């Protein structure tokens, strides 16, 4: 049982200035919750922010009532729905709200059965039309699910298991967060981009809330549990030594937990909302040496993410077993009772630009997909530009990409698949868990707010 108060707080993120934030319990990112598989957790959220909020546990196998549907609001104290414009945070589409779909209260209990594979989940705001600016202001945190089987593997743990929440932000001179969507001057700054095309990009890279941190490490294996919590920025991560050599990123897990077997990468692309569980071995680094975590897709300062300095030799009893898990679902194409097609493309909506799924912007009053509990389905997804597509409730496997075999980083059970520009992919899943109303959407947070979301009803 946890209590979280959503409130305004400030933190020193950049040297010498305070940054006002929206927080869970005053911290940025929010407090990390650690749970055991199958042990239910209730999180009570109180809203002391100036606007309504919604909490979603990303990657959670959660009953619909606690899944954070975008109109299931936690109202702030003193808030009355009538008479309040929704223009607090962003650039949403005012015309499409269906008041009948709105159920609201001041405090909300979210109940998570956590009957699922152990993995790194994250919780974040999910209010309709305003998710992107709310996450930007700080409403995101980690929720780690563990179990005995995973712990028995002997992967690096304790000090040598590090969650890395990577997120870009832009700051004004006084230290306050600048959301380029609302600030025309910022759109011209190098590294910061206009939201209507690509989503909002910042020019400062934060890891666990700190800009470009330097972490002191032992000459030993580390387990890095990486989350791309950026609104829109894509990364392709590498671990580069001072002499230019690269360390392998040995992937042991994906969004939805352990792989069957480790996969070594030289570089690892990570789209918004994706998680990669990787082991890096600093034993190969001389004491005093540095390992920079670099984003190959960045330029200038956004090329750097963080660095490790190896400060001492140390014993290392960790290992990366050749078999990591045996419970990965292996659905076959022939198991699927249905194949559905979805396009993720720009289009016109409400007289402006929007991002559409199958030609339509999100409408809470419309059911886009009705799936039967227990059915296996294949979904064919096609994109115009980069779209990381996320399904609530279920994990899926990537069956194909661009008509070919999936890429090495598509391994394992995913809940977000990164479609590259012009690319198609097929995913396969079983609608398993709970009946009710869920979502699928693009996890470029600005795209999501600008319509690229749809309802998935499980019956
Ligand atoms: Cu990170 Cu609808 O989710
Ligand atoms: Cu989600
Ligand atoms: Cu998108």
Among the listed residues 52, 43, 56, 66, the one whose alpha carbon sits nearest the alpha carbon of residue 105: 52
CA of 391 to the centre of ligand 2 (A): 6
The arithmetic mean of pLDDT across residues 196-204, rounded, is 83
- Say if residue 201's pLDDT is above 50: yes
| Mean pLDDT of the 291-312 span | 97
Q: Which two tokens stand for residue 300?
A: 């200038």
Q: Is 91 near ligand 1, meaning CB less than 6 Å away?
A: no
Count how many domains the chain has: 3
Domain range for 228: 158-313
Q: For the segment 215-270, what is each residue's pLDDT rounded down to a tens digit? A: 999 999 999 999 999 999 999 999 999 999 999 999 999 999 999 999 999 999 99
With a cut of 50, say whether residue 93 has pLDDT above it. no
pLDDT > 70 fraction of the chain, expressed in percent and rounded? 90
On whether both 172 and 201 belong to a single domain, the answer is yes
Is there a single domain that holds both residue 340 and residue 266? no
Kindly state whether residues 98 and 231 are assigned to the same domain.
no
Query: For residues 129 and 91, what is the distance between their CA atoms, to the nearest angstrom?
Result: 7
Residues 88 and 233 in one domain: no
pLDDT at site 348: 81
Q: What does DSSP assign to residue 286? A: P
Q: Is there a domain that residue 33 lies in?
A: yes
**pLDDT band per the 50, 70, 90 thresholds, residue 393:** very high
Asked whether residue 310 carries a pLDDT value surpassing 80, the answer given is: yes
Q: pLDDT by residue (tens digit) across 409-425?
A: 999 999 999 999 999 99
pLDDT at residue 336 tops 70: yes
Kindly state whether residues 197 and 295 are assigned to the same domain: yes
Q: Reply yes or no on whether the pLDDT at 197 is more than 90.
A: no
Q: Report pLDDT for 293.
A: 98
In a domain, 353, yes or no: yes
Measured by CA distance, the residue closest to atom 3 of ligand 1 is 58
CATH of the domain at 382: 2.60.40.420
Predicted local confidence at residue 184, as pLDDT: 66
pLDDT band at 354 (very low <50, low <70, confident <90, very high): confident
Measure 266 CA to ligand 2 centroid, in angstroms: 28
Of 280, 270, 207, 218, residue with least CA distance to 245: 280
Asked if residue 196 has pLDDT above 70, the reply is no
Query: For residue 90, is pLDDT > 60?
Result: no
Same domain as 162, residue 137: no
Mean pLDDT throughout 50-72? Answer: 97
Separation between Cα atoms, residue 277 and residue 162, nearest integer Å = 10
pLDDT at 193 over 70: no
- The predicted model gives 15-29 an average pLDDT of 97
Does 187 share its domain with 285? Answer: yes
Ligand 3 mean position to 446 CA, how many Å? 8
191 and 166 belong to one structural domain: yes
- Residue 56 Cβ < 6 Å to ligand 1: yes
- Together in a domain, 138 and 188: no
Cβ 58 under 6 angstroms from ligand 1: yes
In this model, does residue 104 exceed pLDDT 80?
Answer: no
Average pLDDT of the residues in 46-73: 97
**Residue 447 Cβ contacting ligand 1 at under 6 Å:** no
- 152 lies in some domain: no
pLDDT given for residue 295 in this prediction: 98
The overall average pLDDT reported for the chain is: 92
pLDDT exceeds 90 at position 105:
no
Q: Do both 163 and 299 map to the same domain?
A: yes
204 and 251 inside one domain: yes
Q: Which of 117, 146, 175 represents a domain boundary (last residue)?
A: 146
Six token digits for residue 215: 């972490």
pLDDT at position 352 is 74
**Residue 349 pLDDT:** 76
For the chain, give the percent of residues with pLDDT over 90.
86
Residues 6+ apart with CB under 8 A from 54: 68, 69, 70, 71, 72, 73, 74, 125, 126, 127, 128
Residue-wise pLDDT for 273-300, tens only, equals 999 999 999 999 999 999 999 999 999 9
324 half-sphere exposure, CB direction, 13 A CA radius: 23
Nearest-ligand number for the alpha carbon of 418:
3
Ligand 3 center to residue 274 CA distance, Å? 14
Q: Check residue 177 and give its pLDDT.
A: 95
Q: Which ligand is nearest to the CA of 442?
A: 3
Give yes or no for residue 99 having a pLDDT over 60: no
Q: What is the C-alpha separation between 208 and 205, in angstroms, rounded? A: 10
Residue 150's pLDDT is 98
Does a structural domain hold residue 184?
yes
Are residues 288 and 164 both part of a single domain? Answer: yes
Domain boundary among 126, 146, 166: 146
- Give a yes or no: residue 76 inside a domain: yes
Distance 56 CA to ligand 2 centre (A): 6
What pLDDT is recorded for position 198?
77
- pLDDT at 95 > cutoff 50: no
Identify the pLDDT of residue 175. 96
| ipTM score above 0.90 | yes
Domain end, chosen from 146, 179, 206, is at: 146
Q: Does residue 153 lie in a domain region? A: no
Q: How confident is the model over 47-75, as a mean pLDDT?
A: 97
CA-to-CA distance for 119 and 100, rounded, in angstroms?
36
């Amino acid at each position: 049982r946890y209590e979280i108060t959503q409130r305004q707080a400030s933190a020193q993120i950049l040297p010498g200035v305070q940054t006002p934030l929206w927080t869970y319990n005053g911290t940025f990112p929010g407090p990390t919750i650690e749970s055991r598989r199958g042990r239910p957790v209730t999180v009570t959220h109180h809203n002391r922010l100036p606007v309504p909020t919604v909490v979603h546990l990303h990657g959670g196998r959660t009953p619909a009532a606690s899944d954070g549907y975008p109109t299931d609001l936690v109202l702030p104290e003193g808030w009355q729905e009538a008479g309040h414009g929704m223009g607090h945070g962003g650039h949403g589409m005012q015309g499409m709200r269906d008041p009948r779909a709105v159920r609201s209260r001041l405090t909300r209990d979210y109940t998570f059965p956590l009957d699922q594979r152990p993995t790194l989940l994250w919780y974040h705001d999910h209010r309709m039309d305003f998710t992107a600016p709310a996450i930007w202001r700080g409403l995101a945190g980690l929720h780690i699910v563990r179990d005995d089987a995973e712990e028995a593997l002997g992967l690096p743990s304790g000090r040598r298991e590090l969650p890395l929440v990577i997120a870009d932000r832009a700051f004004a001179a006084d230290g306050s967060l600048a959301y380029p969507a609302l600030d025309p001057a910022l759109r011209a700054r190098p590294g910061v981009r206009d939201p209507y095309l690509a989503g909002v990009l910042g020019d400062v890279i934060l890891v666990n809330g700190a800009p470009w941190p330097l972490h002191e490490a032992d000459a030993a294996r580390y387990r890095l549990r990486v989350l791309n919590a950026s609104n829109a920025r894509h990364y392709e991560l590498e671990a580069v030594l001072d002499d230019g050599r690269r360390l392998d990123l040995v992937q042991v897990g994906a969004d939805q937990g352990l792989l069957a077997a480790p996969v070594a990468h030289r570089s690892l692309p990570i789209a918004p909302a994706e998680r990669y569980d990787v082991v890096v071995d600093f034993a190969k680094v001389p004491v005093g040496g540095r390992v920079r975590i670099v984003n190959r897709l960045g330029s200038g300062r956004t090329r750097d993410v963080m660095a490790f300095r190896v400060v001492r030799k140390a014993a290392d009893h960790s290992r990366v077993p050749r078999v990591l898990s045996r419970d990965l679902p292996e659905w076959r194409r022939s198991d699927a009772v249905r194949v559905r097609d979805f396009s993720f493309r720009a289009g016109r909506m409400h007289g402006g630009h929007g991002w559409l799924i199958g030609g339509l912007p999100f409408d809470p009053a419309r059911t886009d997909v009705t799936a039967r509990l227990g059915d296996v389905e294949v979904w064919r997804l096609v994109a115009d530009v980069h779209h990381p597509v996320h399904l609530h409730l279920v994990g899926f496997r990537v069956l194909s990409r661009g008509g070919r075999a999936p890429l090495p980083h598509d391994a394992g059970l995913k809940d977000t698949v990164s479609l590259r520009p012009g690319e198609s992919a097929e995913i396969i899943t079983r609608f398993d868990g709970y009946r009710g109303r869920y979502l699928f959407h693009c996890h470029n947070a600005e795209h999501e707010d600008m319509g690229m979301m749809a309802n998935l009803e499980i019956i």
